[in-house]
Copies of this chain bind each other. A is one copy, B any other.
Amino acid sequence: MSGSARVLGVLGGMGPLAGATFMQRLTLLTPAERDQDHIPSILWSDPRVPDRTAARLAGGEDPLPWLLRGIAGLEAAGCGAIAIPCNTAHGWFEAMQEATSLPILHIVEAAADELLRLGITNGTVGLMATSGTLAMKLYQGRLAARGYECLVPAEEEMARLVMPAIELVKANRVADSYAPLAEIARRLVERGARAVVLGCTEIPLGIAAGPALPFPVADTIDALARASIAWAKPAG
């Protein structure tokens, strides 16, 4: 894509519904009066990228070559920065950033900014994410550096409720994922969390399919969309 505007590259497909919803939220959160006010962007939606959690925890195929192929494609198409609406893929962030001269917006930093926006400046926050994201500690150190402590679900809750719910979203059974996801979010708040970070981009899709939760949640799709808008329209 040519021209003087900043073109956003979106490495999506992980899962594809999260990537598409990211594009929708990017659009809806951009101040605009007509088509031409919106942000030029390219969504590279390759759902064939091998499962990120399986790669980290179960010796599954390495997703990195697929991720790098997407970044190279977005770079060749003329993008000026990369957003990746998949938290677990950020386990390969350093390798991706080394392979490109484009800035990659980090979803965990965006999530921390979202906590500030919600008025949560420190203390204990609940973290819902894939087993891969939890095992790689993508959030814990970064949030600790910004004054938060992470409370995560028990291993049994991950296996029985969180991971199956994420898989329901990937299988297009979004409405069915609401109950188990909302239940875990509630339990984290009962255990002392002041807010819950939806640290897997499938989770806000499920949570949006039912009644709003009565406590603050940091939606990492919206968080990354806001970071992308700040990059694309720095004056706004």
In the complex, whether A93 has a CB less than 8 A from a CB of chain B is no
Given A1-B46, A43-B43, do A13 and B38 touch, yes or no (CB 8 Å)? yes
**Smallest CB–CB gap between A9 and chain B, Å?**
11
Judging by beta carbons under 8 Å apart, are B40 and A45 in contact? yes
Given A3-B48, A42-B45, A44-B42, do A171 and B13 touch, yes or no (CB 8 Å)? no
Beta-carbon contacts under 8 Å, A22-73 to B: 23-24, 26-28, 30, 32-51, 69, 73
Judging by beta carbons under 8 Å apart, are B13 and A73 in contact? no
* A35 in complex: contacting residue of B36, B42, B47, B73, CB < 8 Å: B47
Judging by beta carbons under 8 Å apart, are A46 and B51 in contact? no
Most buried by B among A5, A17, A46, A167: A46
**Smallest CB–CB gap between A5 and chain B, Å?**
7
Judging by beta carbons under 8 Å apart, are A40 and B48 in contact? yes
Beta-carbon contacts under 8 Å, A155-178 to B: 167, 170-172, 174
Judging by beta carbons under 8 Å apart, are A69 and B2 in contact? yes
Beta-carbon contacts under 8 Å, A126-179 to B: 167, 170-172, 174
Contacts of A44 in B (CB 8 A): 1, 42, 77
Judging by beta carbons under 8 Å apart, are A170 and B34 in contact? yes
Judging by beta carbons under 8 Å apart, are A20 and B16 in contact? no
* A21 in complex: contacting residue of B24, B35, B40, B42, CB < 8 Å: B24
List 6 A-B residue pairs with CB atoms under 8 Å apart, sorted by A's residue number: A34-B51, A35-B48, A40-B47, A42-B42, A42-B73, A43-B45
